[in-house]
Amino acid sequence: MISLFLQASLFAQSIHHKLSMPEPQSHYFHIQVEVSDFPGEELTMVLPVWAPGSYLVREFSKNINLVKAKDENGKELPIAKSEKNKWKIQKGTAKKVILNYEYYAFELTVRTSFLDLTHGYLNGTNVFMYPEGQLGLGGKLTIFPHESFAKITTALPKAGDGVSSDSGVEFTFENYDQLGDCPIEIGNQEEFSFTAAGIKHNVAMYGVGNYDIPTLQRDMAKVVEATVAVFEENPNKEYWFIIHNTTTGSGGLEHTNSTTLNVNRWTYEGDDYLAFLSLVAHEYFHLWNVKRLRPDALWPYVYDKESYTDLLWVMEGFTSYYDELLLRRSGFYSKEDYLGKVKSTLNYVESSIGNSVQPVAHASFDAWIKAYRPNENSSNTTVSYYPKGHLIAFAFDAMIIKANKGKKSLDDLMQVLYNKYYKELKRGFTTEELRTELEAMTKTDLKSFFVDHIDGVKTIDYAKYLSEVGLEITLQEGEQVLFGATTSDEEGRVIVKRISSGSAAEKNGLSVNDEVIAFNGFRVTKSSFSDYTEAVKPGDRFNLIINRDNQLMVLDCEMGTLPFVRYTFELDENNKLGQFWLREL
């Protein structure tokens, strides 16, 4: 009796996805999947539940309708859901299974999919199913754009000349990782390109904006070249930026040889433009840090459940450190501008209540349930691994520079990790391996640092580490008069949105969603409520009239204080290690 493994090897399994959009105004993509020569009488098709780089189970299967299957002769095959994201097809002896379904796409973010009369955009993990257990299966994708759409932008390679016999545009993929990792823009986007670090970079711009193409070509090239210099090689032969210019930007998402950026359409001037270039640097840095160099828990990707790692403070935090540092290196920030960014990050993190509650390693592990699902109490209990990881990267950079007398920096650590774990060992790395590489480069035992500052919430001795690169840090601590209630104006109503732990607002019984009507008998607006509370001294008493669930209540209150933390910097301009850190030598 032939084994199932040997039996399967006798079949030339293949998969061919076909994507169409006959009525874009309906927001439905139509997908047909042809799966051929799979053994057995059953075939299970799976849709991912998350998109790599965005650590939240988003349940993409909720957008799927009208799933039907037939064989090569057009005979309908029985199909039923076996799990929330799995469809089991009773194929019998059929050599080919043709699966059809619709995907509702009406969420324009970098991690989801969207379709209307202006354009279509999709992430493969949202839309395309794969045969269970067959992530390594390569195949074809044919796209049939709506007649009003003239262009397709994607990093997927075209098959031959890209034109199929049925007038679609044909692409190939080596495995599901590639199909899922190449976002697709379909419409009438403006396209241009530039060359940087010897690589052609393609840019597709959707939406009206105040951008200037020659300026973008020049400045994006500078950012790219500064980023490539960190790793001293570019792993790609070509790269794609898909940029959505919208009213409200939603950030970026990294891919192996492309990225999608969603920014405010008027972002291309002044400080907003620098923020855009920082986003470009951030997502481009991810080419190495995340897409190639990544934790063992994310290698390989598992698409149908959470993949837990305590290293997102490296993946996102180190990248956040570099996205600002690279703008300094490429000449967009003055030295004063850059130090201001560092100071702002330091004060933001160290004045956050959640920073003393949640270790950054825990913030990483719990990203699936906390980072992407903040609530009114999140600021009291969580820390973001982006800015906290930024500060840890800064401390490690200073340690490496000091230990190597200005001959090495964090750049060298990133090169070691990339070359050893991605290129040589072809696997992810663990926390212990990271610490080992850091200890070798800093010539320091870092066990207590990891225990105290990564797995714990002890405050980093910034003055100790950063003085090595010429930054003299002054810490101001004390108590500040603060009521502790954050409010918003909702059609003239003052609504409480957040309450700080340990604050007078919490102690006196104010709650999130309360409407504040009056202070000491005087009707308030959002502005006047802030003015009233700021004028009260510690220990002074006052009363509030509030509306809670349509019931009027009077709260007798006493003003209190909250801890105050503020760091300031003085840079020693003559410090050689500092000059090396800022690349002034």
Q: 486 and 498 in contact (C-beta within 8 Å)?
A: yes
Can you read off the two tokens belonging to residue 335?
Answer: 């030295």
Q: 180 and 113 in contact (C-beta within 8 Å)?
A: no
Residue 2 has pLDDT above 90, yes or no: no
Residue 64 has pLDDT above 80, yes or no: yes
What is the predicted pLDDT for the residue at 12? 79
**What is the enclosing helix (H) or strand (E) of 243?**
strand 238-246
State the amino acid at position 143 in one-letter form.
I
What is the predicted pLDDT for the residue at 10? 45
Query: Mind listing the pLDDT tens digit for each residue in 76-126?
Result: 999 999 999 999 999 999 999 999 999 999 999 999 999 999 999 999 999
Residue 8 has pLDDT above 60, yes or no: no
Instruction: Give the other-Cβ count within 10 Å of 334's Cβ.
Output: 10
Q: 194 and 213 in contact (C-beta within 8 Å)?
A: no
What is the predicted pLDDT for the residue at 162? 66
Residue 173 has pLDDT above 90, yes or no: yes
**What is the enclosing helix (H) or strand (E) of 365?**
helix 360-365
CA–CA separation, 233 vs 411, rounded Å?
Answer: 12
Query: Mind listing the pLDDT tens digit for each residue in 134-164?
Result: 999 999 999 999 999 999 999 999 998 766 6
- Which residue(s) pair with 311 in the sheet? none
What is the predicted pLDDT for the residue at 436? 98
Percent of the chain at pLDDT > 70 equals 97
What is the predicted pLDDT for the residue at 4? 44
What is the predicted pLDDT for the residue at 7? 43
What is the predicted pLDDT for the residue at 448? 98
Confidence of residue 11 (pLDDT cuts 50, 70, 90): low
Residue 1 has pLDDT above 90, yes or no: no
Query: Mind listing the pLDDT tens digit for each residue in 285-309?
Result: 999 999 999 999 999 999 999 999 9
CA–CA separation, 498 vs 488, rounded Å?
Answer: 10
What is the predicted pLDDT for the residue at 426? 98
Can you read off the two tokens belonging to residue 121?
Answer: 């955009």
Can you read off the two tokens belonging to residue 466?
Answer: 């950063």
Domain 4-186 has CATH 2.60.40.3650: yes
What is the predicted pLDDT for the residue at 350? 97
Tell which residue, 470, 467, 462, 465, has the closest CA to residue 574: 470
Residue 6 has pLDDT above 70, yes or no: no
What is the predicted pLDDT for the residue at 103? 98
CA–CA separation, 264 vs 271, rounded Å?
Answer: 13
Q: 434 and 318 in contact (C-beta within 8 Å)?
A: no
Query: Mind listing the pLDDT tens digit for each residue in 308-320?
Result: 999 999 999 999 9
What are the residue ranges of helices labelled H in 144-269? Answer: 176-181, 213-231
**Positions of CATH 2.30.42.10 in the chain:** 483-559
Confidence of residue 250 (pLDDT cuts 50, 70, 90): confident
CA–CA separation, 380 vs 366, rounded Å?
Answer: 15
End-to-end CA distance of the chain: 72
* Three-state DSSP class for residue 493: strand
Mean pLDDT score, 491-515: 98
Mean pLDDT score, 165-185: 94
Domain 288-469+575-585 has CATH 1.10.390.10: yes
CA–CA separation, 499 vs 514, rounded Å?
Answer: 11
What Å distances lie between residue 371 and 110, 176, 290, 365, 377, CA to CA? 17, 27, 18, 10, 12
Average pLDDT of the chain, as a whole number:
96
Q: 532 and 514 in contact (C-beta within 8 Å)?
A: no
Q: 388 and 313 in contact (C-beta within 8 Å)?
A: yes
Q: What angle do CA 512, 515, 520 make, to 5 degrees?
A: 115
What is the predicted pLDDT for the residue at 377? 97
Mean pLDDT score, 176-186: 98
The CATH number that domain 189-279 falls under is 1.10.390.10
What is the predicted pLDDT for the residue at 165? 61
Residue 166 has pLDDT above 80, yes or no: no
Domain 483-559 has CATH 2.30.42.10: yes
Q: How many CA atoms lie within 13 A of 211 on its CB side?
A: 28
- Exposure pattern of 435-473 as b/e (b: 16+ CB <10 Å)? bebbeebbeeebeebbeebbeebeebebeebbbbbbbeb
Which runs of E-coded beta strand occur in 105-179? 114-115, 119-122, 130-131, 139-144, 151-154, 158-163, 169-173
Instruction: Supply φ then ψ for residue 277, to 5 degrees.
Output: -65, -35
**Positions of CATH 1.10.390.10 in the chain:** 189-279, 288-469+575-585
Can you read off the two tokens belonging to residue 180?
Answer: 């899922």
484: left (phi over 0), alpha (psi -120 to 50) or beta: left
What is the predicted pLDDT for the residue at 9? 44
Residue 208 has pLDDT above 50, yes or no: yes
What is the predicted pLDDT for the residue at 160? 82
- For residue 197, give every residue at least 6 positions away whose Cβ sits within 8 Å of its Cβ, in sequence order, or none: 224, 225, 228, 234
Can you read off the two tokens belonging to residue 337?
Answer: 């501008």
Confidence of residue 471 (pLDDT cuts 50, 70, 90): very high
Confidence of residue 395 (pLDDT cuts 50, 70, 90): very high
